Structure 1
Amino acid sequence: MGWLGSNFGSALKAIARTVEPDRPALVHGDDVISWADFDRITDNIAAGLRETGLKPGDVAGQQLRNSPAYMFAWFGCAKAGVIPVNINYHYKAGELGDIFARFGLKALFVEEEFAQVAAAACDGAPDLTHRIVIGGSAWAKLCDTPAPPDFAPSDDSDGLFYVATGGTTGMPKAVMWPFGEAWQAFQISSWMRALGEPPWIAETLEDHAAEAACHPPPSDAMRSPSLCLSPLMHGAGQFASLIALMRGGTLITIPATGFDSGQVIDTVRDRGAKSMAFVGDAFALPLADALEARADAAEAFASMRMITSSGAIFSAAVKERLLAINPQMIIVDALGSSESAGTAVTITTAAGSTGGGHFSAVPGRETAIFDADFNELPAGSEEYGTLARSGPLPLGYLGEDEKNAETFPVISGKRWLMTGDMARFREDGSIEFKGRDNMCINTGGEKVFPEEVEGALQSHPAVDDVRVVGVPDPRFGRKIAAVVQLRDRPADLEAALDSHVRERLAGYKVPRLYVFTGESLRLNNGKPDYRTAQSLAEAEA
């Protein structure tokens, strides 16, 4: 079997040696890091991690905002053979402590603003002995101490990186991706040619790096520079950024703690960004509003050629508004997850959408839809089943044997990923998406597990019972609603409940709507009655 991909750390070095040394790799505000410096700094970090005693297979977390430091830490780990894993910086100490312990962290890269809560979470994770605060002395030493002359990055394509899920399938899990499988799943070595021509597939890392050298930014062919608006701490943003860098591109991140549409538009204009990645209407709607309010919108957005979204609803009407500003763009709306790295897409241009607005399977991957008994459903079936794909896949979830058997079953001798997306194949082969097959709520790309919020609310003395559901929201797709059965109704109850949850959980998990009821929120058999709760919440939304 020929070359199927490389360790991302050794690939970074191969690309850095081949492209022009001053080609920008990372851009963040006024900071520009060349490919030569990117390679040098990540070598230094990798050598420093080895010097501290970390070994291949140890795990290091990145509790970081979007910045060059995120990619320095991630690729430094990859080069050292240490397993990087994203850590959600919204989490509180209890949530972090659970993740640190279950994921087996030995080291943590953390922003100074999150260092205190991270330290409080370490009591239950005795193996986490290295906390590296970005901007601190330990970080400076890692970045600035030269790697020894004989340093060589890990070239193990079976080495791993973890992707922490957002909780769609329950509490966050670590998806174990081998670099070689991810390289294929991301289709990194598939280089687009002229319209109508098949892509060119690199057969060696050397050929791949040489092709990357042929496309200095700005490049329409590579859609580089690429602007990542999605948080790197989520799979969607991380995957898009890794693909851009592993093709020798330029990755732009924005120095901000929140989403500022005006800053995004100015960055596109000033940096000539060719592509951007974000999460659905939570980003697209305010971006469209801001563009329509600017007299220079068409000029400022003229360089943009592709917008990619995954992880949340991206409304057709909002796509049309963005295309009205720049009709040259292609909008790619993907069905994907931390486990799949993309299963199906809808491509929209000024001329219309593929599949009549329905999804199409990603080319080069075997896609099927199975019923509850693992029978494959044919095209044209009126029955909805679970969308699944085969091909390059992660090893599964860390320490989750039961969930692995359920999510990655072997059917007729072939291993499949059951995505959890309910869908059917239409007669024309397009995929009609129905929704998720569980109760997880997706709010602006963040995943919220209802039982976790219910547990927090249930601990308040005024609450007798509670159901948490999602209701429609024009910006975030869904917002969190709590339907509460009360013991009593003290003054300022909503504010008290809000504060109670906010002390225990990340802010995006706090309900945006409270509905109070005297009705039972349980079925006759004692199980939660989500149908009644959903009806009550939607009536108030």
Structure 2
Amino acid sequence: MTFNLADLFEAVADKVADREALVCGSDRATYAELDKGATQMAHYLASIGVQAGDHIGLYMYNCNEYLEAMLACFKVRAVPININYRYVNDELHYVFDNADLVACIHHREFIPHIAKVRGQVDKLKYLISVDDGSDIDLDTIGAVDYQRAKQGQSEQRDFAARSDQDYFVLYTGGTTGMPKGVMWPHKSVFFAAMGGGGHFSPNGPCVNPEDITDRVMEFPLCGIALAPLMHGASWWYACIQLLAGNKLVLNPHRSLNGEEVWNIIAEEKVNAVQIVGDAMAIPLLDALDANPGRWDLSAVFNIGSGGAIFSDAKQDAFKKHFPNVFITNAFGSSEGGQMGMDNGSRKGVTGLGNVTRTEFMDVIIDEPEQARRHAEKGETGIFARSGYIPLGYYNDPEKTAKTFVEVDGKTWLLTGDAAKLEEDDSITVFGRGSNCINSGGEKIFPEEVEDALKAHDGIFDALVVGVPDERWGSRVSAIIQARDGVTLDLEGVQEHCRKHIAGYKLPREIHLISEIPRQPSGKPDYKTAKAFAESGQGRV
């Protein structure tokens, strides 16, 4: 047995075979059923010629088949590739081609999209279609029905030995450019992003692969992953739950509706709610505010966020509704895994969070014409991680060389987040350094201004960018989505923000927009927001 994710899952499935593992709408599966289905699909993949190392696209909404197919890939040492179902033709073609997909497991409704790009992708041979109620002809692209493919396949785990250096590739939209495939060895992603199996155990992370069954608790927890599985934060959370022998609930709906979500949480008696930042927190909180006492949510004891900004204001709002639960805010990246977590008690008044400096977590100074070095106390540089890190970006050696660098004989991942090494040897993480606003020599991080703006009762969502200023170089501009019926003006917004941030960080102009722009990945679209502000649209 190795730290291969298929090996680890099979060990857990054997120990808790009859436990409920996965729930998505009306579809439910025990650990034994999930493992059986994955084994049968793995045998089908092998039968059509899928080899170790081949890349298999997962182009689906949330469903049980998504995770079953993921496990099937791992069983035959193939590599599942997350495909964002919001992508349009150019983006879809890019990922299919860049990832060298050999096969794609997809929801039936995506057949027309696949048909448009299939002829431009040389290596794509096999298409497996998951029923979704649509009636699009599978013959359009020569697809095979997913359930029919599994029929008659062996239930025996007679697969070749696996390695903990098999790949887990996560495609990330990032904030600029086309998606990039982050190449994680199984062992590295298990320890860096999945807690090494120790999230729920007092024994901490596994030392040996066999320890995974000792980390399974006698009484399983129930956790819900609200984001689509195509996003890394949700995909990893799903793996954490399954490798812990817990019950994982998925949101079966195509969008996030607060009332629908709380219905599921109450019905399934969910203990832990996993969201992705304020974009999910807002509709959930609005539903609670509009329906006091409607649901029995007494089973909930944790609300956690990862993968996006989870503002202090939204954390405080959850505490009002759930005074006895603990709030967790993990921060990290597709390349860095989970790099820190706070529980609402950050040091200081700025930054996304604060972590302890270790031999694997540090601040690197990366300046032009100078050798990279570790920061001294009081210096601001780039948040960096070593140890369990990816190997690089698939098919992108240039980006790999810029992001994975050597400092003092050790390879470090430069996350792109600005960070400061504090006097007490801790690290304060501020956010994407590329978005930093330099106004009259003062560095202002958009995230901390956005945090202040979102504490305003009349502001639904906000992004902050720097726009050119003749005197100061750049000035802080806020793009704001106001709540329905709310009238905002610059003076009132500034007065509110003064309670949370220093005067030099205040927005110097505000622009009202009907909806905050986001990329297909769901991440903030700062480029569009900046263009909107520079055009003068919506300025009040």
Does TM-score exceed 0.5, indicating one fold?
yes
Instruction: Kindly state the Cα deviation for residue 152 of structure 1 after the two structures are TM-superposed.
Output: 2.7
Letter in 2 for 1:187: G
- 1:124 lines up with 2:124 in the alignment: no
Task: Give the match's secondary structure for 1:200.
Answer: coil
Q: Which residue of 1 aligns with 2:497?
A: none
Letter in 2 for 1:99: V
Instruction: Kindly state the Cα deviation for residue 433 of structure 1 after the two structures are TM-superposed.
Output: 3.3
Task: Give the match's secondary structure for 1:392.
Answer: coil
Q: Which residue of 2 aligns with 1:189?
A: 197
Which of 197, 206, 213 matches 2:210?
206
Instruction: Kindly state the Cα deviation for residue 428 of structure 1 after the two structures are TM-superposed.
Output: 3.7
Deviations 1:178-221 (A, max 9, x none): 10111121222325556xxxx43433333321331x3332xxxx
The normalised TM-score by structure 1 is 0.77
Q: Which residue of 2 aligns with 1:377?
A: 375
Distance 1:147 1:514, change over 3 A: closer
Letter in 1 for 2:35: D
Equivalents in 1 of 2:343, 2:30: separation in Å? 32
Distance 1:417 1:472, change over 3 A: farther
Deviations 1:375-399 (A, max 9, x none): 32233x1x42111111101111012
1:110-259 equivalence runs, <5 A: 110-135=106-131, 137-147=144-154, 149=156, 151-152=158-159, 154-168=161-175, 170-185=177-192, 186-190=194-198, 192=200, 199-212=203-216, 214-217=217-220, 224-259=221-256
Extract unaligned runs of 5+ from structure 2: 132-137, 139-143, 437-445, 455-462, 466-476, 484-513
Q: Which residue of 1 aligns with 2:280?
A: 283
Equivalents in 1 of 2:398, 2:528: separation in Å? 35
Instruction: Kindly state the Cα deviation for residue 241 of structure 1 after the two structures are TM-superposed.
Output: 1.1
Letter in 2 for 1:235: G
Task: Give the match's secondary structure for 2:245.
Answer: coil
Instruction: Kindly state the Cα deviation for residue 354 of structure 1 after the two structures are TM-superposed.
Output: 6.0
Task: Give the match's secondary structure for 2:343.
Answer: strand
Extract unaligned runs of 5+ from structure 1: 218-223, 451-468, 476-497, 516-529
Distance 1:15 1:411, change over 3 A: same
Deviations 1:408-444 (A, max 9, x none): 1011011101000012133344443333133599999
Q: Which residue of 1 aligns with 2:33?
A: 37
Identical pairs, percent: 29
Q: Which residue of 1 aligns with 2:494?
A: none
Instruction: Kindly state the Cα deviation for residue 347 of structure 1 after the two structures are TM-superposed.
Output: 1.4
Distance 1:388 1:506, change over 3 A: closer
Which deviates more, 414-423 or 6-15?
A: 6-15
Equivalents in 2 of 1:231, 1:165: separation in Å? 13
Deviations 1:298-334 (A, max 9, x none): x622211222212222111111111111122222212
- 1:24 lines up with 2:20 in the alignment: yes
- 1:82 lines up with 2:85 in the alignment: no
Distance 1:41 1:368, change over 3 A: same
On the 8 A contact 2:173/2:521 being kept in 1, the answer is no
Aligned length: 457
Task: Give the match's secondary structure for 2:62.
Answer: coil
Distance 1:538 1:367, change over 3 A: farther
Which deviates more, 311-320 or 39-48?
A: 311-320
Instruction: Kindly state the Cα deviation for residue 364 of structure 1 after the two structures are TM-superposed.
Output: 7.1
Q: Which residue of 1 aligns with 2:473?
A: none
Deviations 1:82-120 (A, max 9, x none): 110100001112211111111100001111121211221
On the 8 A contact 1:43/1:153 being kept in 2, the answer is no
Q: Which residue of 1 aligns with 2:387?
A: 391
Q: Which residue of 1 aligns with 2:260?
A: 263
Distance 1:430 1:288, change over 3 A: farther
Instruction: Kindly state the Cα deviation for residue 508 of structure 1 after the two structures are TM-superposed.
Output: 6.4
On the 8 A contact 2:168/2:189 being kept in 1, the answer is no
Q: Which runs of 4+ in 1 moved over 4 A?
A: 191-194, 352-358, 362-365, 439-444, 472-475, 505-515, 532-539
Q: Which residue of 2 aligns with 1:367?
A: 361
1:365-444 equivalence runs, <5 A: 366-373=360-367, 374-379=372-377, 381=378, 383-438=379-434
On the 8 A contact 1:24/1:250 being kept in 2, the answer is yes
